[in-house]
Amino acid sequence: LVERMREFGETIFAEMTQRALAADAVNLGQGFPDTDGPAAVLDAAVEAIRSGRNQYPPAIGVPELRAAIAEHQLRFRGTTVDADTEVLVTAGATEAIAASILALCEPGDEVVVFEPYYDSYAASIALAGAVRRTSVLRFPDFAVDETSLRAAFSPRTKLVLLNTPHNPTGRVFTRAELELIASLAIEHDAYVVADEVYEHLVYDGEHLPIASLPGMAERTLSISSGGKTFATTGWKVGWVTGPAALVSAVRTVKQFLTFVSSGPFQPAIATGLRLPDSFFAGLRDDMRARRDLLADGLADLGLPVSVPQGGYFVVADAAAWGPDGLAVCRALPEQAGVAAVPVSAFLDDKTFGATLVRFAFCKRPEVIKEGVARLHKAF
Ligand code: PMP
Ligand code: GLN
C-alpha cells in the first residue's frame, strides 16, 4: 500500500457492523435506514430494469435525473442550474467528494476540513496528495470555532470541505458560520466543496446552501445523494452541481474512477426528487421523532447528549462507560447487544472527543427503543 494511504485501515463502519452481526446486536452504528424508501421510487427502479435500461448510462447521468436535480434545486434552494453543463451524476456522494478533490487539488495543496469529519474526507484528501488542515467542532454544541478556523487557513489553502448538516455531530451550520467560511474562502481564493447529503434532514432551523451566499456560487461545488433522502444507500446515486468549468473538471476525473454507475437507479431517483413537498416534510417530521426518541433515551441513561439539529446521528459522552470511546464501541455489541461508532474515528486530535460515541437513529422506532432498553439493562 502506498505510504499516503497507510493510516487508513478498514472503515469504522465496516468494523462495527461486523461486530453487530457477530453479536446479534441492535445496529445503531453504521448510518443506513432499516426500512425501504417510497414505493414510487422502488417501483421506478423495477420498471427501469424491466424496460431494459441496464447498460451504461450517459457519462454525465441520464437526462431525466439531471433535469430532476435542476428542478429540485430550484424548488428547495431557489437556485438555477443548467442540467447539461452544471450537473454531474456520480457513484454516490462519496465519488463526488473524491473526484472533486482530485480535480481541484495539486499534491501539497491544503484542504480545510472540520473535525470530527466524515471518514472518506481524509482518505480522499490523501489520495490527491493534498494535506488536511482541521478546525475543531467541540461537544456539546459543535459550533464553529473562529480562532481554530482562521488558523487552519494558509496561503496554500486550495479548498474548504464543508458538511452541513454534519456527520457525525448533527450540527446544522448557521448563516453566520457559513458567512465566516465564505469570507475566508474568498479571502484565500479557495474553492468550497459542500457535502449536503442530509439537506432534507433538518429538524431545527434550516439548511442554508453555502453556494447561495454572495460571491460563493462561482467557487462552490455542491454535493448531494439519493441515499439518505430516499433510504436507498445501496443504490449509490449522487451528484455534484456548480459552475460549468468546475463540474467539467470533476467530470474529467470521474470518467476514470467509475466512468458511470447505477444505470436503472438513476431514473428512479429522478422520480424521488419529483415527489411532492409533503414527502420531504413527512420524512423530516418522522426522522425528528426518531431523533427525540434516541436523544431522550440516551439522556435518561445519564449521558451528556448533544441533541442534533439535523442528519442521522446523536453524539453522547460515554465517559461513564470507559475512557476510550473506541474500546467502548468494540465491547458494546457483546456487552450490551448494541453497536455504535466512536467519534474518535473522525478526529485527528483525539483529545477533543476520546469518550464521545455516535448513535444512529435512522432505524425503526421499535429498534431504537430496543437499543435504548438494552443499554439501560447493561449500564
Ligand atoms: N457524506 C456524508 C456526510 C455521509 O454521511 C455519507 C453517507 N453516510 C456520504 C457522504 C456518502 O454518501 P453516498 O452513500 O451517497 O456515497
Ligand atoms: N455514511 C454512513 C455513516 O456515517 C456509512 C457509510 C459507510 O459505511 N461508508 O454511518
How far does residue 151's CA lie from ligand 2's centre (Å)? 29
pLDDT value of position 76: 97
For residue 183, the CA-to-ligand 1 centroid distance in Å is 26
Domain boundary among 273, 294, 319: 273
Residues with CB under 6 A from ligand 1: 31, 92-94, 118, 163, 167, 195, 197, 225, 227, 233, 236, 238
CA nearest neighbour of 321 among 338, 345, 296, 346:
338
Burial label for 40, CB within 10 Å (0-12, 13-18, 19+), is middle
92 and 133 part of one domain = yes
Domain boundary among 273, 304, 326: 273
- pLDDT tens track for 262-284: 999 999 999 999 999 999 999 99
CATH value at residue 199: 3.40.640.10
Same domain, 56 and 101: yes
Percent of residues, the chain, with pLDDT higher than 90:
99
242 and 301 in a single domain? The answer is no
pLDDT at 145: 98
Same domain, 309 and 256: no
Using the atom order of ligand 1, give the atom closest to the CA of residue 225: 15
- Say which CATH number the domain at 337 has: 3.90.1150.10
- Interatomic CA distance for residues 109 and 130, integer angstroms: 5
Residue 79 in 3-state DSSP?
Answer: coil
Q: What is the pLDDT of residue 69?
A: 98
How far does residue 108's CA lie from ligand 1's centre (Å)?
25
Residue 281 neighbours by CB under 8 Å, 6+ apart = none
Probe target for ligand 1 pocket from 117, 167, 201, 343, with the most ligand atoms within 8 Å of CB: 167
pLDDT computed for residue 315 by the predictor: 98
Atom of ligand 2 minimally distant from the CA of 14: 8
Residue 29 C-alpha to ligand 2 middle, in angstroms?
9
pLDDT in tens, 74-130: 999 999 999 999 999 999 999 999 999 999 999 999 999 999 999 999 999 999 999
Question: What's the Rg (C-alpha) of the chain?
Answer: 20
Nearest to 92 by CA among 220, 291, 230, 188: 230
What digits encode the pLDDT tens for the residues 154-202? Answer: 999 999 999 999 999 999 999 999 999 999 999 999 999 999 999 999 9
Q: Are residues 167 and 259 in the same domain?
A: yes
One domain, residues 197 and 309: no
- Domain region containing 95: 39-273
Distance 234 CA to ligand 1 centre (A): 11
pLDDT band with cut points at 50, 70 and 90 for residue 339: very high
Domain shared by 184 and 243, yes or no: yes
* Shared domain check, 207 and 128: yes
Strand residues in the chain grouped as ranges (E): 26-27, 87-91, 110-115, 131-136, 157-163, 191-195, 220-225, 237-241, 305-306, 313-317, 338-339, 341-342, 356-360
- Whether 127 and 261 map to the same domain: the answer is yes
The CA distances from residue 70 to 10, 76, 184, 214, in Å, are: 36, 10, 28, 20
Cell of 267: 431514473
* Final residue of a structural domain among 229, 251, 273: 273
Distance (angstroms) between ligand 1 centre and the Cα of 324 equals: 26
- Here the cell at position 138 is 467541540
| Ligand 2 neighbours (beta carbon < 6 A) | 11, 13, 30-31, 167
Q: How many CA atoms lie within 13 A of 75 on its CB side?
A: 15
CA of 361 to the centre of ligand 1 (A): 15
DSSP tag of 57: P
- pLDDT of amino acid 152: 98
Share of the chain above pLDDT 70, in %: 100
Report the separation in Å between the CA atom of 223 and the middle of ligand 1, taken as the mean of its atom positions. Answer: 10
The structural domain count of the chain equals 2
Beta-strand relationship, 305-306 and 313-317 = antiparallel
Q: What is the mean pLDDT of residues 234-240?
A: 98
Sign of torsion over alpha carbons 155, 161, 163, 164: positive
**Which residue minimizes the CA distance to atom 3 of ligand 2?**
31
ipTM surpasses 0.90: yes
* Domain shared by 308 and 170, yes or no: no
Ramachandran region, residue 155 (left: φ > 0; alpha: ψ -120 to 50; beta: rest): alpha
Kindly give the number of the ligand 1 atom that is closest to the alpha carbon of 91.
16
pLDDT tens digits for range 132-150: 999 999 999 999 999 999 9
Block residue for cell numbers 439548511: 207
Nearest ligand to the C-alpha atom of residue 226: 1
For residue 195, the ligand 1 atom closest to its alpha carbon is 1
Average pLDDT, the chain: 98
Q: Are residues 248 and 348 in the same domain?
A: no
Ligand 2 atom closest to Cα of residue 168 = 4
- Residue 144 Cα to ligand 1 midpoint, Å, equals 21
Phi, psi of 136 (to 5 degrees): -90, 140
Residue of 10, 30, 228 to mutate, ligand 2, most atoms within 8 A of C-beta: 30
Q: What is the DSSP string of 105-143?
A: --TT-EEEEEES--HHHHHHHHHTT-EEEEEEB-TTT--
Neighbours of 376 (CB within 10 A): 12
> Are 211 and 329 part of one and the same domain?
no
